[in-house]
Amino acid sequence: MIFHETPLAGAFVVELDRKQDERGFFARAFCVDELREHGVEFEAVQANVSHSTRKGTLRGMHYQAEPVSEPKFIRCIKGSFWDVIIDMRPGSPTYLRHFGVELSAENGRAIYVPDRFAHGNLALEDESELLYLMGGRYVTGHALGVRHDDPAVGIEWPVPVTVVDAKDRAWPLIDKI
């Protein structure tokens, strides 16, 4: 795996280290030991698949309230997404800053999302899927979110947002929290 630091401390974009030959390629897609070598303690406790039927479908921006921990390792397995994280750690020097990256089945990138980061994604093409490895369990009653169009964050989405769940549209603006 090839690790690239993001501007947000503790978050990484992870590329496949493809070993190519006439058959195609082989690559390690996930490794706890390699994550540890980069200072990340992550043990997957759950795996989720997120399928977006239509281009322009947005999910997010989700995270969980303390004391619940929910780091994520996310890879696109079909189609493509613009994947965004927001640092929601109040004492962090990058608090409320965001970072976005294209994840696609073709480019093979993944993103490691630390705990206390809001996460969301926008389908860049029809019939796209993400595979989430979760480092914590979802706990009902601890869900938090940031609106995808919150001016305090200023995310610029690369294609128009056409489908958003009512719950995701209803998160309060940061200046109202």
- Residues facing residue 74 across a β-bridge: 111, 132
The residue whose two tokens read 């058959």 is 23
Give the rounded distance of the alpha carbon of 122 from its chain centre.
10
Cβ contacts of 161 within 8 Å, gap of 6 or more: 56, 58, 122, 148, 149
> How much is the pLDDT for 116?
94
**Residue 92 resides in a domain:** yes
Mean of the pLDDT values across residues 49-59?
98
**Residue 148 resides in a domain:** yes
**Residue 52 resides in a domain:** yes
Mean pLDDT of the chain: 95
Greatest distance between any 2 Cα atoms in the chain: 57
Structure tokens at 128: 């796209």
Q: Could you tell me the CATH number of the domain that includes residue 109?
A: 2.60.120.10
Over residues 61-115, the pLDDT tens digits come to 999 988 999 999 999 999 999 999 999 999 999 999 999 999 999 999 999 999 9
**Residue 150 resides in a domain:** yes
Active-site hit among 4, 98, 112, 132: 132
**Residue 101 resides in a domain:** yes
**Residue 158 resides in a domain:** yes
Over residues 132-161, the pLDDT tens digits come to 999 999 898 999 999 999 999 999 999 999
What proportion of the chain, given as a percentage, has pLDDT over 90? Answer: 93
132 is known as an active-site residue: yes
**Residue 177 resides in a domain:** no
> How much is the pLDDT for 75?
98
Active-site hit among 4, 38, 62, 148: 62
In the chain, the number of structural domains is 1
Answer yes or no: pTM beyond 0.85. Answer: yes
**Enclosing domain of residue 163:** 2-18+25-172
3-class DSSP assignment, residue 16? coil
